[in-house]
Structure 1
Amino acid sequence: MTMSKEQFLESSGLKVQVLELWIEQEWLIPERTPSGIRFKEIDIARARLIRELQSEIGANDAGIDVILHLMDQLHGMRQAFAQLRREMRGSP
């Protein structure tokens, strides 16, 4: 399910200025459609993570950049390994 910017703001509890900054910093990367930007449930989870990193851990912007980059790399590696496992199961 995707949601509009307004729906995302309501669900995430973010202010418009914060959302725009996070998009500019590429911490959140919404889908761009002819009718505007669209967000997914994973974007809400990522926004919550960013807020936790800021408020509970005290991470600054540079730290959040590093953490999100490493998490994205890990996610990509997990997808690659899953694909490799599927391919290996399919071959004799």
Structure 2
Amino acid sequence: MQLQEFADRSHLDSSTIEAWMDAEWLVAHRPGHPFSEQDLARVRLIEDLKGDLGVNDEGVALVLYLLDQLYGLRCLLRDIQAMRITADDRTH
């Protein structure tokens, strides 16, 4: 989705979006359609961390970093499992 739609749906102003992108809490992924539904979910998480839980900016950065690491590991594990299944299919 484009920046304006993302801003409307996330209820964030452009300066907040820019600040969060500068902090690498949000990353525009693709030219033309830089934001996704996952980015909207990330905004909700950031808002929950900052608002409901009172986490400071450094804490938000740490939580997001750890979640990104966990997601990356889950993707890697899924790829390894898929390769294993493919290798098992070739041997049978």
TM-score scaled by length of structure 2: 0.90
Match of 2:8 in 1: 10
Counterpart Cα distance in 2 of 1:32 and 1:86: 26
* CA root-mean-square deviation: 1.2
| Structure 1: 5+ residue stretches without partners | none
Query: How many aligned residue pairs are there?
Result: 88
Identity %: 34
1:49 aligns with 2:42: no
Partner residue of 2:72 out of 72, 76, 88 = 76
CA offsets per residue over residues 17-54 of structure 1, 9 Å max, x none? 11110000000001252x5x621111000011000000
Aligned letter for 2:68? D
The answer to whether the aligner puts 1:61 opposite 2:61 as a matched pair is no
Max Rg structure: 2
Question: What SS is found at the alignment partner of 2:35?
Answer: strand
Which is helix-richer, 1 or 2?
2
**Unpaired segments ≥5 residues, structure 2:** none
Instruction: Give, in angstroms, the shift of residue 77 of structure 1.
Output: 0.3
Q: Which has the higher strand share?
A: 1
